[in-house]
Every structure is written in C-alpha cells, then in structure tokens.
Amino acid sequence: MKDKTLDFIARMPKVELHLHLEGTIQPTTAIELMRSNQVENAPRTVEELLKIYDFQDLSHFVRAMKIVSNHITRLQDLDRVCSEMLAECARQNIRYLEFDCAVQKYIDLGMPLTDVVAVLDRAVHAAEKRYGILSRMVVNLQRSHGDQKTADLVVAVARLNHPLIVGVGLSGDETQNPQKEFINTFAIAKEAGLHRTVHAGEALGSQSVWDALELLHAQRIDHGTRAVEDERLVRHLVDTQIPLTQCLTSNLRLNIVSAAELHPFAFFLHSGVLVTLNTDDPQIFQTSLTQEYALAYQTFGFSEQELRRIAQNGINASFLPEATKGQLRQQMEQNISADCGEN
C-alpha cells in the first residue's frame, strides 16, 4: 500500500537553510569539471566519483569535498552549479532557499567579489522567474582562512551591500579553528548589520555552541546536534528561539550519531527548540530534502502536522525580513491546502 505521508512529503512546500553550494555539484557536472581541468586519474563514472566521498569523519570529509569543489574555476562553472542546484531544489518543491557559498575560494582564483555575486544573482533571478523559488545567499567564512582573512571578506561584503546576501556563516573543521579565533570577524559582521550563523555542536560538544552564541553572537546554529548534552543549553535555545539547522544524513555519515533513532532531532522539536531539516551537502551525502523529511518521518513517526511545523520553522529561522516571512507563510499554507489537502 502506498504511504500517503511520503506522498504528502514529496508535494509539501519546503524551506532549506543549510545547503553548501559546493556540496550540490551534480555528478556529471563534477566529472566534466575535473576533466576540463585535466585532473590526473579523474573519475570517469559516477561510481568512481562516489568513491571520493567515502569518508570517515569531519576532517576527512572536508578534504574529500575540496577534491571536487576546487574545480569550480570559472564564472561559467559557478553559474552552472548554481543553476543546477536551484533547478533541483525547485524539483523538490523547495519554496525558499538560503544557500551558503564559499566566495573566498573564487576571489582567490582571481574572480572579483562583484562578479561572483552578480553571476549567482542572475542564476537566482532566472530560477525565481522559471520555477517560482525564492533564494538568498549566506557568505561562507572558512575557519582555515583565519580571523584576518575572514574579517577582510566581511568588510568587503558589507561594503557591497548586495540584496542577495543576507548574512555570513562560519564553517569548516571546528576542532582545528575554534570559535574564539573569530571574535573580531563576527564583531565586524554584527556592526555591519549582517545576519550570523555558525557551525557548532557537530564535531565538538555543547561548549562550541555556547561559544558561538556568547563569543560570536550567532543568531542561528548550523547543526547544534550536541547541544543535547547540556540541559541548560537546551533550555536557553527554547527560551531564545535561536534556531538549529539540523541535517540527519550528514550527522549519520560523519558519525556524529551512530543511528538515526539516536539523533536528538525529535527531542529538540518536542522540547520547543526551533529546529529545521536540511541537507548540508546533498550530492556528497547522496540525499535530498525530500529524503531528509522521509527519514525523519520513518524514524520518529512524525505526523503530517509535525512535518508542516518543521517546514514552517524554516521560515521562522530564515534571515528574511518579517514582512517577507509573512508572505511566504501564507503562500506555503495555500500551497499545502491546494496541493496536499487538509487532514
């Protein structure tokens, strides 16, 4: 018998807030980019490409991801990857997307920040016109670049003041470059009025989440899975409604949790933490947002009402203006009523 809830999930309008553009490169695109750059022993098939993604932990994962993403070397490559990402999101009925882009990578290759943002902005507007998907960008700040380089990027982003950019986000191996090293960078971001999100509570424990909140003034936590280890922190997250952008498959693949049923997502949701479902790096982890919702439903037994609540949490946790959030809520509810039916 067909599972009606899985059908509901496929048709339900969704929001994605934790998606790295460099982790969305389609397999055929990745192979073509590596070939065009004349990579020695480049993968010739999808199966060979997937062997690169056979990682064991966060540090190994970061290295594996760079093997492929380092071959986005031209503006047209960036346009292709972004356009394909948006088309895939639209296919899954994602109505709003905040994607993270490692713009410093492209600046270091000689592409001006203005050109990088312009290319992405054109792709975003084209997708909105074609598919009706609304998208904004969070500028990625790599821990490995250190405080000075990330601070310089934040200053440049603030000066650009482009409407596509809604904030900055710190990511990378937190075991090597902890939050305290980026106090200056995030002070500049806060002063400039940029929204701020930080990867924390993933490889490191709950203290990394506290540090993101107290030292970096994070308004959102990417992952935050290990916040469950600290009751006081969980209460703080409930009281402040600081969101956690959770990624189930990512946490499983990187051994943050050993089994889906041991993931604290349902505990967070039922405790009143503002949690959202996301994919992180869908091509690398071989998942999609639809699959993440299906995994959550099959693991935790969520009702359709709870699944709708998770999607609505995505709007609440976004960096959109309140007026736009209200419009998006209304549109999504209308879509659910029209396309999914009321239960």
When computed from its CA atoms, the radius of gyration of the chain, rounded to whole angstroms, is: 19
The amino acid sitting at 36 is S
Phi, psi of 107 (to 5 degrees): -60, -40
Could you tell me which of 97, 75, 78, 93 has the C-alpha nearest to residue 22? Answer: 78
DSSP annotation of 339 reads: I
Phi, psi of 277 (to 5 degrees): -100, 135
Q: Which helix (H) or strand (E) holds 35?
A: helix 27-36
Q: Can you read off the two tokens belonging to residue 62?
A: 């970061």
- CA-to-CA dists, residue 295 to 50, 256, 261, 302, angstroms: 21, 16, 10, 10
Could you tell me which of 47, 65, 45 has the C-alpha nearest to residue 55? Answer: 65
| DSSP three-state, residue 201 | coil
Task: Describe the strand order of the beta sheet including 275-277 as a list of residue ranges.
Answer: 14-20, 94-101, 134-142, 165-171, 195-200, 220-223, 244-246, 275-277
Is 40 noted as a catalytic residue in this protein?
no
As a whole number of angstroms, the distance between CA 34 and CA 102 comes to: 19
202, 231, 292, 304: which is the annotated catalytic residue?
202
- The DSSP bridge partners found for residue 222 are 199, 245
As a whole number of angstroms, the distance between CA 204 and CA 218 comes to: 16
Chain Cα centroid distance, residue 192: 22
Q: Virtual CA dihedral for 54, 249, 106, 92, nearest 10 degrees?
A: 120
DSSP annotation of 174 reads: T
Cα angle 254-283-10, degrees, rounded to a multiple of 5: 105
Compute the residue count for the chain: 343
Q: Which residues are catalytic?
A: 202
